A and B are shown apart, each in its own frame.
Chain A
Amino acid sequence: MNEIIKLVLPSFLDTLYMVFLSTLFSILLGAPLGITLVLTEKDGLINMPKLNTILGTIINITRSIPFVILIILLFPLSRVIVGTSIGKEAAVVPLSIAAAPFVARVVESALKEIDKGIVEAAISLGASTNQIVFKVLLKEALPGLVLGITLTMVNIIGYSAMAGVIGGGGIGDLAVRYGYQRFRTDILIATVVVLVLLVEITQRSGNYIAKKIDRR
């Protein structure tokens, strides 16, 4: 038992590291993209349907590349950004990039949920596009955004385990090295339990926060 904890705990911390950083970076990359999608759609606040179509297509293409292949494709980029293509730091790059288009869609759909009348009222009060984005859209959509980010984290947890398989570190890495290569079924089960708990806790906290801040 002691041995299992000794093995699982550092891997678990590595996974947390990957998940948190990747979520953060995917939001930084994906949220502006999602906001742009909403603004540039036909009859949006910045009516640019062509740009919208181009962005939408890029997002769809990125989302349709299987994650394992995306990691391999992004090895060179990891090397440029963090200096290596192995380990938890290296995994953050493909994880962030893989999750960013997902975040963009999540943000897009959360913002689209908002009643057009509220945006119209803001316009009629003299709000600029910037003010509408930050003071109306993001604020009104906050509960939906929290749920969307939660969904993103859960996805990244799954992806991070996959990244572990090809040298990304974390729980996935442990599962392969001990559980698969050394036939340690107990370690394998422990990794699964840890992942299930992590997903469960993430989802429950997300739901709780979203409900707490929703005044609609």
Chain B
Amino acid sequence: MIQINNLRKSYLVNGTKVEAVKGISFNVEKGQIFGVIGKSGAGKSSLLRCLNLLEIPDEGEILIEGRDITKLNPKELRNIRKEVSMIFQHFNLLKNSTVFKNVAFPLEIAGYKKDEIDSRVLELIDLVGLKDKKDEYPANLSGGQKQRVAIARALANNPKILLCDEATSALDPLTTKQILDLILELNRKLGLTVVLITHEMDVVDRICTHVAVMEKGEIVEIGIKDDVFKNPKSKTLKQFLQSERGSKVIVLEKKKDKAI
């Protein structure tokens, strides 16, 4: 589904070149939920943003269903972006548009007729469980509801791939769980391939089938999630697993305190 070969991306920061992604290669197969985990600054966001060319890589190939998207002309690129959707940490909804209009946006720019748009939008809003909110503006929604709108909007053009850029990092734990359940449901129902980046172990643990661990622009561990988590090799993953266990222990102890 997605093949990434020797991907490199660097930025100029105050005149000096900083390499964010250092020659990464990996594949994502159809139907996988592929998680990339790493600390802030590990390069995971740059990596993800290369997959729909929000960032233009310096070097390397990105093949989506066999087509190298780095070699497309602007029009072809716009079309491929309709197949590779994205959701964001801060939702990025149109603030002066209602829920309905936000979800209709990708359909309007794709040139669908009004009645087609109307029925598709209602279907999508229903799918993410926001039927009664269709005429609300984003300012009146909770974080979880905003992300649901963003998901509905991302799904409007029937994408094959959904990219999630820290999609639950601005949400509380309960809402995070609900959004993850929704993504999982969409993955199963629609066969949607998901690539997500996060610094929350819990997210990967809950829904990912596969995982890659990033450190300083490189992938240091990759594979089926259960295998990788059972036998962590990298410093990052060991630390993450430890702190997660740590937090679970704390929760248990707190519960015990209350019980006493």
Could you list which residues of chain A lie within 8 angstroms of chain B, going by C-beta atoms? 115, 117-118, 120-128, 131, 135-136, 139-140, 142-143, 213-216
Contacts of A126 in B (CB 8 A): 78-79, 81-82, 106, 109-110, 157
Question: Mostly helix, strand, loop or mixed at chain B's interface?
Answer: mixed
Contacts of A115 in B (CB 8 A): 90, 92
Question: Mostly helix, strand, loop or mixed at chain A's interface?
Answer: helix
Q: Does B230 contact A (CB under 8 A)?
A: no
Instruction: Evaluate contact between A135 and B108: CB separation under 8 angstroms.
Output: yes
Q: Which residue of A lies closest to B82 (CB)?
A: A126
Distance (Å) between the CB of B209 and the closest chain A CB? Answer: 24
Q: Does B251 contact A (CB under 8 A)?
A: no
Distance in angstroms between the alpha carbons of A126 and B54 in the assembled complex = 11
Distance in angstroms between the alpha carbons of A127 and B54 in the assembled complex = 12
| 17 A-B interface contacts by CB (under 8 A) | A115-B90, A117-B90, A118-B93, A121-B150, A124-B81, A124-B86, A125-B105, A125-B153, A125-B157, A126-B78, A126-B82, A128-B78, A128-B109, A139-B96, A139-B97, A215-B137, A216-B95
Distance in angstroms between the alpha carbons of A136 and B102 in the assembled complex = 11
In the complex with contacts A123-B81, A125-B153, A126-B78, A213-B96 CB distance below 8 A: yes
Distance in angstroms between the alpha carbons of A126 and B111 in the assembled complex = 12
Instruction: Evaluate contact between A216 and B81: CB separation under 8 angstroms.
Output: no
Distance in angstroms between the alpha carbons of A122 and B97 in the assembled complex = 13
In the complex with contacts A118-B93, A125-B153, A214-B96, A135-B78 CB distance below 8 A: no
Instruction: Evaluate contact between B54 and A135: CB separation under 8 angstroms.
Output: no
Distance in angstroms between the alpha carbons of A213 and B82 in the assembled complex = 30
Query: A121: which of B78, B86, B157 is its contact (CB, 8 Å)?
Result: B86
Instruction: Evaluate contact between A121 and B82: CB separation under 8 angstroms.
Output: no
Distance in angstroms between the alpha carbons of A122 and B95 in the assembled complex = 13
Distance in angstroms between the alpha carbons of A117 and B87 in the assembled complex = 11
Contacts of B249 in A (CB 8 A): none
Chain A-chain B contacts (Cβ-Cβ < 8 Å), number: 75
Contacts of B95 in A (CB 8 A): 118, 140, 215-216
Contacts of A120 in B (CB 8 A): 54, 88, 92
Distance (Å) between the CB of B117 and the closest chain A CB? Answer: 13
Could you list which residues of chain B lie within 8 angstroms of chain A, going by C-beta atoms? 52, 54, 74, 78-79, 81-82, 85-86, 88, 90, 92-97, 105-106, 108-110, 137-139, 150, 153-154, 156-157, 163
Q: Which residue of A lies closest to B98 (CB)?
A: A215
Distance (Å) between the CB of A134 and the closest chain B CB? Answer: 10
With A121-B92, A139-B97, A215-B138 known, 12 other A-B pairs at CB within 8 A are A115-B90, A115-B92, A118-B94, A123-B54, A124-B81, A125-B85, A125-B105, A125-B109, A126-B78, A128-B109, A215-B137, A216-B96
Contacts of B78 in A (CB 8 A): 126-128
Distance in angstroms between the alpha carbons of A118 and B95 in the assembled complex = 9
Q: Which residue of B lies closest to A121 (CB)?
A: B92
Q: Which residue of B lies closest to A114 (CB)?
A: B95
Distance in angstroms between the alpha carbons of A49 and B85 in the assembled complex = 30
Contacts of B97 in A (CB 8 A): 139, 215
Instruction: Evaluate contact between B96 and A125: CB separation under 8 angstroms.
Output: no
Contacts of A122 in B (CB 8 A): 105, 109
Contacts of B90 in A (CB 8 A): 115, 117
Contacts of A139 in B (CB 8 A): 94, 96-97
Query: A135: which of B81, B85, B105, B153 is its contact (CB, 8 Å)?
Result: B105
